[in-house]
């Protein structure tokens, strides 16, 4: 019987070590029978993470281990450093966020390229990234991971807001739910002005839930404003309405709503509606521009 495979280690100090890490990833991927594309994806993720270790922590180490989940073979890569750590991991994942004046795409692309990705980081202690690429993905990955999902709820009724918020969290549809209580507030939020001037206008919600009956600016006006602005033109908007009026419904579709749903009165029914909206708009739907 063969001895259990030992992890291979690559010390990371300089650019040449990144090439070594890539090579190690490719070799182990080939040994484990990963398809060529999967091996390339892993090698690319490895070089992003190795470059981060050198660029942001100075030095570290990467280990490569064969993985087996009872059904499929894979490769697990663990990168460790004792560098400064990452203060806000969620922010570090955001495309374009970089403390090094760089593209800020490394972490997010690495996560997309592998099947399993975990990062543990503590300020002053260091960072550990663990990622696995499988010969066959074991499950379909969500289009947008739950913790990253941002939903904007445009709703003036506090009761409905509370119910929707509870339903969205309970069904794990959203990682974060932001609220706008009238049409003006909604546009200020989305275009990062007025009371929301400090917001990053690029951090658009993945889904907008819009009530049609709103104070200040009606839901249909909000819809029109969002659909005529290039920045928000493509954000999925689901109208949640308490009216079953045919006129409202066609006006919403004509205004560019992606979907029109009647607000259930019953919480159990609401849970079901929210779950279906989430699985359609945030799991199955592949918006343009998504990598
Ligand atoms: N190992 C690490 N130690 C400390 N900070 C890190 C580490 N890895 C990433 N970071 C932080 O996370 C941010 C985002 O990383 P990411 O790889 O996405 O972008 P980047 O390295 O700045 O730019 P790019 O990879 O596109 O050249 C970094 O700017 C840095 O602040
Ligand atoms: Mg990077």
Question: Ligand 1 centre from 185 Cα, in Å?
Answer: 34
- Provide the pLDDT for residue 265: 75
Confidence category of residue 4, pLDDT binned at 50, 70, 90: low
**In angstroms, rounded to a whole number, what is the distance separating the alpha carbons of residues 205 and 153?**
10
For the chain, domains (ranges, CATH) are 8-134 (3.30.565.10), 146-283 (3.40.50.2300)
Whole-number Å distance, alpha carbon 182 to ligand 2 midpoint, is 39
Task: Provide the residues around ligand 2 (an ion) whose CB is within 5 A.
Answer: 52, 106
Residue 103 near residue 96, CB atoms below 8 Å = yes
Whether the Cβ atoms of residue 211 and residue 241 lie closer than 8 Å to each other: yes
Q: Which atom of ligand 1 is nearest to the CA of 53?
A: 1
Own/partner pairs, 259-267, CB within 8 angstroms, 24+ separation: 263/160, 263/211, 267/163, 267/167
Question: If we measure between CA atoms, which residue out of 62, 57, 122, 119 comes closest to residue 86?
Answer: 122
Expressed in angstroms and rounded, the spacing between residue 190 Cα and the centre of ligand 2 is 28
The per-residue pLDDT for 139 is 53
In the chain, the DSSP E strands lie at: 8-12, 60-68, 73-81, 116-122, 126-134, 150-154, 176-180, 207-211, 237-241, 259-262
- Our answer on whether the CB atom of 111 is closer than 6 Å to any ligand 1 atom is no
pLDDT for 291: 44
Model pLDDT for residues 29-54, shown as the tens digit of each residue: 999 999 998 999 999 999 999 999 99
Minimum-distance ligand 1 atom for the alpha carbon of 129: 1
Question: If you measure from the C-alpha of residue 166 to the centroid of ligand 2, how many angstroms do you get, rounded to a whole number?
Answer: 36
Q: By alpha-carbon position, which residue is closest to atom 23 of ligand 1?
A: 104
Instruction: Write the pLDDT tens digit of every residue in 117-149.
Output: 999 999 999 999 999 999 976 555 556 777 888
* Distance from residue 107's CA to the centre of ligand 1 (Å): 7
State the ligand closest to the CA atom of 129.
1
* Mean pLDDT computed over 198-209: 90
pLDDT at position 3 is 62
User: Does any ligand 1 atom lie closer than 6 A to the CB of residue 290?
Assistant: no
Mutate to test the pocket of ligand 1, among 49, 55, 124, 131 (most ligand atoms within 8 A of CB): 55
> How far is 101 from 167, CA to CA, in rounded Å?
39
Q: What pTM was computed for the model?
A: 0.55
Give the CA radius of gyration of the chain: 23
pLDDT for position 279: 74
What pLDDT does 114 receive?
94
């Amino acid at each position: 019987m063969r001895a259990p495979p030992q992890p291979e280690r690559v010390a990371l100090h300089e650019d040449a070590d990144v090439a070594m890490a890539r090579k190690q990833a490719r070799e182990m991927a080939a040994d484990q029978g990963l398809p060529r594309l999967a091996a390339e994806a892993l090698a690319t993720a490895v070089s992003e993470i190795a470059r981060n270790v050198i660029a942001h922590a100075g030095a570290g180490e990467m280990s490569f281990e064969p993985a087996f989940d009872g059904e499929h073979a894979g490769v697990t890569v663990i990168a460790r450093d004792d560098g400064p750590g990452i203060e806000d991991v969620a922010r570090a994942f955001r495309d374009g966020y970089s403390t090094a004046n760089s593209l800020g795409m490394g972490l997010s692309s690495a996560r997309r390229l592998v099947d399993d990705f975990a990062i543990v980081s503590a300020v002053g202690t260091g960072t550990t990234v663990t990622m696995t690429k499988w010969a066959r993905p074991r499950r379909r990955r969500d289009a947008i991971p739950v913790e990253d999902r941002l939903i904007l709820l445009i709703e003036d009724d506090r009761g409905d807001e509370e119910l929707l918020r509870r339903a969205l969290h309970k069904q794990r549809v959203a990682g974060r739910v932001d609220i706008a209580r009238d049409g003006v507030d909604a546009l200020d939020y989305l275009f990062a002005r007025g009371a929301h001037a400090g917001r990053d206008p690029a951090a658009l919600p993945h889904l907008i839930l819009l009530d049609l009956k709103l104070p200040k600016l009606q839901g249909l006006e909000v819809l029109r404003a969002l659909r005529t602005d290039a920045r928000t033109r493509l954000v999925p908007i689901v109208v949640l309405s308490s009216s079953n009026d045919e006129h409202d419904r066609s006006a919403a579709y004509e205004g560019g709503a992606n979907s029109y749903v009647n607000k259930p009165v019953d919480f159990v029914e609401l849970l079901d509606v929210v779950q279906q909206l989430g699985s359609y708009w945030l799991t199955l739907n592949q918006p343009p521009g998504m990598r």
